[in-house]
Chain A
Amino acid sequence: MIKVDHLSKTFGHRRVLQSLELSVGRGEIVALIGMNGAGKTTLVRTLATLSRPDAGSVHINGVSTTRDPITVRRNIGVVLHAPMLYPNLTCKENLRFYSRLYALDAVEKRISALLAAVDLESRTGDRVSTFSRGMQQRLSIARAMLHDPQCLLLDEVFTGLDQGSSALLDDLLKQKAKEGNAILFTTHEIERIFNVASRVDILHRGKIIFSSPVNSISPQQLFERYQEFTSESAIAIAPSRGAI
């Protein structure tokens, strides 16, 4: 579903992604971890057609992101740091707006189902400007799933979510993966990786330096691996706190 070949990206003299190789198959949930500045967000933005690669190629469902970005955009759902919501519109109006841009059918039914899935049913008529960070994040997730994309690209999607909302998102992602979607998410939370992901990749200095199925590694081993690869500059927080 997602295939990245020798992807490179440079900002000025700084090489952010260096001949990166990655693939995410149908029904797979891949967690991408790495230090701040490792290139996670750049990778997600490049996959989402928001940034053009300097070299290499990205294919989503066999379609090149540089040759046919419009087709790619129809097949991806993206959550980035910015929620991409309009604060002066209500929860429902935001989703209606995006439904119109995607020219979707059965809009109200979709919206109701998604708002129920992200537990925002009781706030449908409230303006987004009155929402907390976590609620905006949940609405962003609903927005990303509105058009039933086959690939989900989620950049630090668990940030700002409380335990209940995180568990809700875990279930939602697992359900989407069961339906055959490919999911790539970046995170700093080990706990989440072991709850939801099927594979974990470590990104360091623009390269995937470690990749392993989640069921063949323990949280402690992952933490040690992470430290080993990134020891020179990593700020280590004990894995028992659930974050790296």
Chain B
Amino acid sequence: MAIVKMTEFSLFAFDSEKENLLHELQKFEYVHFQNLEQDKTLSEMGLRNIRVPENLVAIDEDLSRVNTSIETLTKYHQKESGIKAMKKGLDTYTFKELEQKASEIDYMPIYENVRELWKERESLKTAKEKAKLTIDELIPWKSLDIPIAYLNEIDKAVLFTGTIPKNLKDMLVEELKDFEITHYEVVGEDKDNLYLIVMSYGDEAEKTKESLRNTSFSKITITSEETPSEEIRLLEEKILKLDKEILTIDEELLVKSSKLSELEVTYEYLHNKKLRVVAAENFLGTDQVDVIKGFVPTERFEEFEKRIKATLGNAYYLEMKDADKEGRDVPILLQNSGFVTPFESLTEMFALPRYNEIDPTPLLAPFYLIFFGMMAADVGYGVIMLLGTFLVLKYFNLSEKTKGFIKFFYYLSFSVIIWGFLYGSLFGGIIPLKGLFEPATDYNTLLILSIIFGFIHIYFGLALKAYIAIRDKKYKEALFDVGFWYIALTGAIVYLLNMVIDLPEIVKTISFWAMIAGMVGIVVTGGREASGAVGKVGGGLYSLYGITGYVGDFVSYSRLMALGLAGGFIAGAVNMMAGMVAGKGPIGFVAAIVIFIFGQTFNLGLSFLGAYVHSIRLIFVEFFSKFYEGGGKKFRDFKSKPKYINLR
């Protein structure tokens, strides 16, 4: 239960068999390829990349076709309602089933069909928009009762159609007052403008033009043949017809959307196919032979070899060795018991361990459980979370990742309930419970309890550091970096405890000298890696200065008590507010219930969020800093991350 042991392999196989081999390995799944492009020795031997860019381009084209079809059809697909859909979840396939199903599907005709329909729909929509725009332009001219074509036939007189700003109307009237053979008419108006038709003749035409220019006249050409109102009627008819045509296409697409699941399967299949092509880019080779290197979990190596043999016969050469303990390239795969597995997300969030480290997940899980419960601590909140997560786990079909996430909170809810009983808190005390502590008055006890948890947590972290050093046979390091710290810290803590409670004189003396001895040890050995006497002394003193960090670490655990208390008080305040209005008639009663539900829900969310992140902080900062570095690469199994299905 920890980091999975890896075997490093080098495989030489004929290039002609590459496709088959990769296909077989994809069924096997547990193989992590190493990128050989950076490998100097291999490239100096004359091996080169066997990349085939055309393959990748071809698959990408296929993928984008399927993707556009999916995007189009998703708009039409009638989704089931939220809860029902979640209950059903995504379809689950094994890799074999996926390949089987995908081979039965020919997506090309679907794609062509959908694309044609969509293109047509787009062009119909454009035509509709255009007609709408024309109508908008014609509306101001609606009261014009002659066909526009007539206006265009006039050749003796000069005709102007266009707009002027409303506020310049008086000015225009004034300008045109003395004109004799000029006629103007206001046909329509909108918010700011008047729509005019102006007719003039002969000499006056030029002057009229001048006057119009003075009144900010802007010319509009009316694009119409019939009278505007007739034209509008025709356009509206056209729009209706277009709408009908769009509807027909929509119906066809709706029918087509039943093919969506087929397209989705094809999409996943193509993605896995793409992964095979991309994986081949990691290899080097000559014209005939490929060199493939990577890692396989040791316990699966036999199966790995068997599969290769089955595919390639005897035409291969396979070398294997245990992965190098100190190797930086060894990919990390974690394996833990059912209870611990959901906590792996926390380890991953910080950083995966390196191959020579230990997997901290089982070590952090119990602490995280306790801390989370202590900070959220409410029976009611815990029960809600328990029921919620339980029902989701029981009735919903979830992907592995989501399931792990829900399970994580399922386990945490027990801790929240237990701490809730200890704190005697049910929805912030709506029903009085007799707890072990009374948070409002016993906060001192809780503070001490929090610090004690911190003490255990930090000492445990140091013990792990010692364990790693001893495992690697660095006994001195274990004594210098952990042993002395234990002595100094314990001495200091007991000595300080003296000031609060009475301890026998002998304890006081021993603790004092233990503290001094530990500190001397730290100063003497802390700078052992530095060069020169000054460096060593300075390094040692600097190490001792680290003791201030420990003070900070211990204090940091006071958040365990503080968050629990704050959550309890806020819940109590909500109840108080609800209680204030509850007695004031039926309306007050309803208001009280609303306040209670809203307030408690808010506090529930806040409590869990706070507990979640602050527990993480205690693990990452206070605990991990003692023994854990991390920085390992994730084991990438040879399977694409599915989007539309669950792949087992």
Q: A and B: real partners?
A: no
Mark B residues whose CB is within 8 Å of A: none
